[in-house]
């Protein structure tokens, strides 16, 4: 399955297995699937933005080039919902100096 789907159990968010995702998607309409995909993309986008917040602190040791690359990456993440084809698009490539 290409798209990652998530479930929340007892307040813990985790990725669905392929079997869980297939069973879940079989129960919903096409319109609802598109809404779900949109929501998942926005949640993932927010997680990616939050994971780079530390690098934006003024005393974080980045070169000027790295800071520019990071600013461009974050802007690309923020602009995702306005791109043609959203939510059926790829996320921008994370800068190589950003940890997983």
Both tokens assigned to 61: 């040791």
Asked if residue 57 is part of any domain, the answer here is yes
pLDDT on residue 30 = 66
The domain of 29 spans 6-82
Total structural domains within the chain: 1
Write the pLDDT tens digit of every residue in 52-73.
999 999 999 999 999 999 999 9
Q: What is the pTM of this model?
A: 0.69
pLDDT on residue 26 = 81
Asked if residue 22 is part of any domain, the answer here is yes
Asked if residue 26 is part of any domain, the answer here is yes
| Inter-axis angle of helices 64-79 and 30-52, nearest 10 | 160
Write the pLDDT tens digit of every residue in 8-43.
888 888 999 988 988 887 887 767 778 888 999 999
Q: Which residues of 22-46 are buried (b: 16+ CB within 10 A; e: fewer)?
A: eeebeeeeeeeeeebbeeebeebbe
Give the Cα separation of 52 and 54 in Å (integer): 5
pLDDT on residue 3 = 66
């Amino acid at each position: 399955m290409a798209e990652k789907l998530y479930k929340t159990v007892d307040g813990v968010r985790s990725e669905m297995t392929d079997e869980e995702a297939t069973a879940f998607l079989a129960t919903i309409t096409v319109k609802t699937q598109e809404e779900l995909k949109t929501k998942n993309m926005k949640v993932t986008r927010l997680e990616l933005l939050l994971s780079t917040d530390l690098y934006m602190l003024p005393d974080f040791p980045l070169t000027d080039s790295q800071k520019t690359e990071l600013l461009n990456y974050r802007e690309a993440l923020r602009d995702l919902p306005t791109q043609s084809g959203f939510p059926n698009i790829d996320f921008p490539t994370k800068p190589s100096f950003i940890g997983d």
